[in-house]
Amino acid sequence: MSILEIDGLSFSYEDGTPAIEGISFKVESGEKVAIIGPNGAGKSTLFSLIAGFRTPFTGKVIVNGDALDDGSEDKVRRHLGMLFQDPDDQIFMPTVEEDVAFGPQNLALDDIQGRVMNALRSTGTEALAKRVPHRLSHGMKKRVAIAGVLAMEPAILLLDEPTSGLDPRARSDLIGLLNGMKRTMLMATHDLEAVADLADRVIVINRSIMFDGTLADLAHRKDMLEQAGIELPSLSKLFSRLKDMGYDFRHIPVSLDNATSETARVIDEMGRKRQGR
Amino acid sequence: MGRLDARAKIIGVVVFVTVAAMLTVTELIFAALALSVIFAAFSQVPARHLLKAYAGALPFILIASVSVFLFAGIDRGIGMWARTSACVIALLVLASATESLQLFAGLRRLGVPKIISTLLMLTYKYIVLMADELVRMKTARKARGFSGGRSLFDLRGLKIIGYTAGMVFVRASDRAEKGYEGLKMRGFNFDLKTWRQTRLAAADLAFIAWFAVVSGALITFQLGAFA
């Protein structure tokens, strides 16, 4: 059974403007799915709907076996951990460790001490345990917010623009951290380079689903990219141009590892051809 | 003082302020003011910060003092200024030397009902959000060359300030809604209670004892004066 099932989900704002229409997809346990699309495509609204913050909607949302309906929001939220775009929206307590313990304490979960320690350790924030979270850097606040979410051990992580507002170092640290987590993740983002490193699957939405597949497949769909207003990572753009110039790249790499192996293959083939002459 | 438990600071200062507010003997009122100033000097709170905060409270202190002076004479007026100042300085030190959230958490642990401490915490967070949005809005206004609204006759400037003030509330309200969603995502049940249940340390107890002795002495002399 899928850990998240969304079937025919539609939602309109109060003034009647449709925000999302007929969205259906399933996410398997352990899968990392990126939701991408232009501004106003409905990415954040989709997350709000899954978490039960937007009503009324039509369609079905089933999280870890629990269907979302009027009255089941709190139950459904127990399976979800949401990382907000701005960590200040989810940090409330006077010290980092108190903030990390906040969720488990509210939900009366067991072994709060162990949960706090594990969450702090896995986000590299042990040394900040007694610090005042509001005085930390944006990157560190994101880590604290992740620790707060992890301490609740949710079945699914919802990450809303996880890399926004981070400097390159903090961004790459965060990507490394998320990459190391063996958890089901749904991330709404514009950062395709992060998607290349993190996601197994990409869903492009612009009110409704326009594409569902891998980023490598999406990289070949220029029409789709243009229609959805999505810019490929610089690395993919470079290989796309080289391909247009006649170099024999079989696919457009989306990550550094892909690019390295594809480049090595092309160089080898070119060398062999020269030797053959 | 920053390292003391918030509960110790609250107990000590509240006891002192309660006693100082009850004093009527001029010498004792000035003794309380002197003790308050000594407390401020040892608190490690920057003097400039305290003076600035005191200056903010001064108009209210003066209104109370001048009113008493007009109706009851100069001695009572000066007494009112000294008494109010003693209380205000002690409270300013408490507020400056303690993180606001620590202070509210301390109140909760002292048994203040959860609805009050939670409301205080959320109100504080909302004020911080509003202040943040206000600064952003002011910067955005300045960045686009706006410098009006300094005179009551500058109608265009006042109109723009009115619009942007409205926007500050709308944006702060949006962010507050996000904050509420953040709380709900973490199982918030209308109680921002703290997790660690630490005991008061020797330094905390010494702090409370110091205020208890000082306040006890003041009240004893006060009662003695009427015996």
Q: Looking at the complex, does the CB of residue A80 fall below 8 Å from at least one CB of chain B?
A: yes
Together in a domain, A18 and A102: yes
Span B92-131, pLDDT tens digits = 999 999 988 889 989 999 999 989 988 888 888 888 888 8
B34, B56, B65, B74, B92 from B29: Cα distances, Å: 9, 22, 14, 15, 18
Together in a domain, A176 and A65: yes
- CB of A2 within 8 A of CB of A61? no
* Closest by Cα among A40, A38, A46, A47 to A17: A40
Together in a domain, A154 and A211: yes
Residue-wise DSSP of A112-165 = HHHHHHHHHHHTT-GGGTTS-GGGS-HHHHHHHHHHHHHTT--SEEEEESTTTT
Per the model's pLDDT, the better-predicted residue between B30 and A235 turns out to be B30
Together in a domain, A149 and A239: no
Omega before residue A87 within 30° of 0, cis = no
- The whole model's pTM is what? 0.81
pLDDT at A240: 86
- Considering its fold, how many domains does chain A have in total? 2
Together in a domain, B94 and B204: yes
* Closest by Cα among B223, B201, B219, B159 to B18: B219
B36, B53, B79 from B64: Cα distances, Å: 19, 18, 11
Together in a domain, A61 and A176: yes
Contact (CB<8Å) A152/B183: no
Residue B149 has pLDDT above 80, yes or no: no
Which residue of chain B comes nearest to A76, CA vs CA? B185
Together in a domain, A244 and A216: no
Q: Among all chains, which residue has been given the structure tokens 């009110």?
A: A207
Together in a domain, A224 and A239: no
pLDDT at B226: 66
Range of the domain at B131: 112-185
Together in a domain, A153 and A203: yes
Together in a domain, A213 and A242: no
pLDDT at B198: 80
Together in a domain, B116 and B171: yes
Please give, rounded to a whole number of angstroms, the shortest distance from the CA of A245 to a CA of chain B.
45
Question: Nearest 5°: phi and psi at B190?
Answer: 60, 35
Query: What DSSP element (H or E) covers A27?
Result: strand A18-27
- Predicted complex: ipTM over 0.95: no
Together in a domain, A39 and A103: yes
pLDDT at B227: 61
Residue B120 forms part of a structural domain: yes
Residue B104 forms part of a structural domain: no
The per-residue pLDDT string of chain A (277 residues; one tens digit each, 9 = 90 and over) reads 799 999 999 999 989 999 999 999 999 999 999 999 988 899 999 999 999 999 899 999 999 999 999 889 999 999 999 999 999 889 988 899 999 999 999 999 999 999 999 999 999 999 999 999 988 999 999 999 999 999 999 999 999 999 988 888 888 889 999 998 889 999 999 888 889 889 999 999 999 999 999 988 898 888 888 888 888 888 888 988 898 898 888 888 888 888 898 899 999 998 988 887 6
Span B31-73, pLDDT tens digits = 999 999 999 999 989 999 999 999 999 999 999 999 999 998 9
Which residue of chain A comes nearest to B125, CA vs CA? A92
- Smallest Cβ distance to A106: which of B182, B186, B196? B186
| Cβ contacts of B131-140, under 8 Å, gap ≥ 24 | B133/B168, B133/B171, B133/B172, B133/B175, B134/B168, B137/B164, B137/B167, B137/B168, B137/B171, B138/B164
**Beta strand pairing call for A32-36 and A201-206:** parallel
* Closest by Cα among A73, A30, A20 to A63: A73
Range of the domain at A238: 233-277
Contact (CB<8Å) B185/A106: no
- Smallest Cβ distance to A77: which of B185, B192, B194? B185
Contact (CB<8Å) B195/A51: no
Residue B141 forms part of a structural domain: yes
Residue B218 has pLDDT above 70, yes or no: yes
Residue B37 forms part of a structural domain: yes
Q: What is the DSSP letter of A89?
A: G
pLDDT at B199: 87
Together in a domain, B86 and B13: yes
pLDDT at A235: 86
Q: Looking at the complex, does the CB of residue B46 fall below 8 Å from at least one CB of chain A?
A: no
Q: Environment class of residue A85 by beta-carbon count within 10 Å: exposed (0-12), middle (13-18) or buried (19+)?
A: middle
Residue B190 forms part of a structural domain: no
* Closest by Cα among B73, B135, B80, B94 to B7: B94
Spatial distance between the Cα atoms of B218 and B188, rounded to a whole number of angstroms:
44
Total residue length of chain B: 227
Together in a domain, B91 and B11: yes
Best mutation target, A78, A88, A130, to test chain B (most B CBs within 10 A):
A88
Together in a domain, A164 and A62: yes
Contact (CB<8Å) B196/A80: no
Query: What DSSP element (H or E) covers A36?
Result: strand A32-36
- Considering its fold, how many domains does chain B have in total? 2
Instruction: Count other C-beta atoms under 10 Å from residue B162's C-beta.
Output: 11
Together in a domain, B65 and B134: no
Span A159-180, pLDDT tens digits = 999 998 888 888 888 999 999 8
Q: Assign residue A89 the CATH number of its domain.
A: 3.40.50.300
